[in-house]
Amino acid sequence: MERREREELCGTTLDGRYRLIRRIGIGGTGVVFAAEDVADGGSVAVKTLRPCYVSHIDLGTRLRREAEVSRRVPHPGVVRVTDQGTLLDGSPYVVMPLLVGESLARLLQRMHALPVAMVAAISIQVAAILHSAHGAGYVHRDVKPEHILLNHGLQGELVVHLLDFGVCASEDACAAEKSRENGRVFGTPSYVSPEQASGEPNVDGRADLFSMGIVMFEALTGRLPFAASSVSKLLLRIIRDDAPRVSELRAEIDPGVDMIVSRLLQRDPRQRLPSARALSRSLSAYVGEREQVESRLLSLLAIGSGVDDATATVRSLVAQQRVA
């Protein structure tokens, strides 16, 4: 059934403007299409809910919240939602640029692990995006390599986007929404913080910092800090066990970087770095010659041209492998 979901929309034009060309991604809750903006001929991505969730109040709210986040978070690393509307079944859709780039996840699949300077360069940019999001009252709750998009800037610099705020927590969410979230785990199991794994709805930005610690650990070592034979056992390990040190797998790692990742992965949020800005500042000493580092990193990316080359990246706009 999943293979055919929303295929009836292909070839249709939404609100007289967005002609859906083909379906390019489907995940736990959403479906993404490559589309043409008939007003100017530009390529866009249109994200909808899967048919089985069209009556799900919270999922509709979260999809619309992506548009809200793009308006309220003043950072170019947040993908702009350029338009939104409603399908005939009453469910929402949002329109975004059809981005070209390569996710950190795909890069790590090829490279296994990255040098410290490259990990620092990427993490500093993600931290800057998180700093803006946290300042606007949002916690991403699903920071992972699939959601970190790497690309060339107009001047040859590294450009990083943090994708998919679809399960983000908002400080402005109503009490009823927060009550419904109590006890539920939001995010991708391998990357959630202990407080997320416990089903705590009132998490703050330090939850994203824990996830950044997992991302950095994986990027530096090629392995995740926590693994288990089932999701429930994995969540229990994240809640109860201390994370290993990067230096246990890479003895040559700089002690300062080892300490930064260790602080991010503290089970008690009070023991972590206090903010995304603090993370960015802590990593600045490990980038080295940033232009050279970014140039070497960009040379590793497998990016072609055209819509087809963007397909794998746009899949990251869809909710994948989440517990909630």
Please list the active-site residues: 142
The Cα 227–Cα 37 span in angstroms is 43
Q: Please answer whether residues 260 and 215 qualify as being in contact, where contact means their C-beta atoms are separated by less than 8 angstroms.
A: no
The Cα 311–Cα 308 span in angstroms is 5
102-103 β-sheet, strand order: 102-103, 148-152, 158-162
For residue 45, count CB atoms less than 10 angstroms from its CB and return exposed for 0-12, middle for 13-18, buried for 19 or more: buried
Q: Please answer whether residues 209 and 272 qualify as being in contact, where contact means their C-beta atoms are separated by less than 8 angstroms.
A: yes
For residue 85, give the nearest of 74, 96, 77 by alpha carbon: 96
Residue 68, both tokens: 């809200």
For residue 200, give the nearest of 148, 164, 246, 235 by alpha carbon: 235
Strand partners, 19: 13, 36
Whose structure tokens read 């940033």? 290
Q: Please answer whether residues 38 and 18 qualify as being in contact, where contact means their C-beta atoms are separated by less than 8 angstroms.
A: yes
User: Which residues touch 180 (CB under 8 Å, ≥6 apart)?
Assistant: 58
Q: What is the DSSP string of 112-124?
A: SS--HHHHHHHHH
Task: Decide: helix, strand or coil at residue 273.
Answer: coil
Residue 286, sorted as left (phi over 0), alpha (psi -120 to 50) or beta, turns out to be alpha
For residue 206, give the nearest of 144, 263, 291 by alpha carbon: 263
The Cα 132–Cα 73 span in angstroms is 6
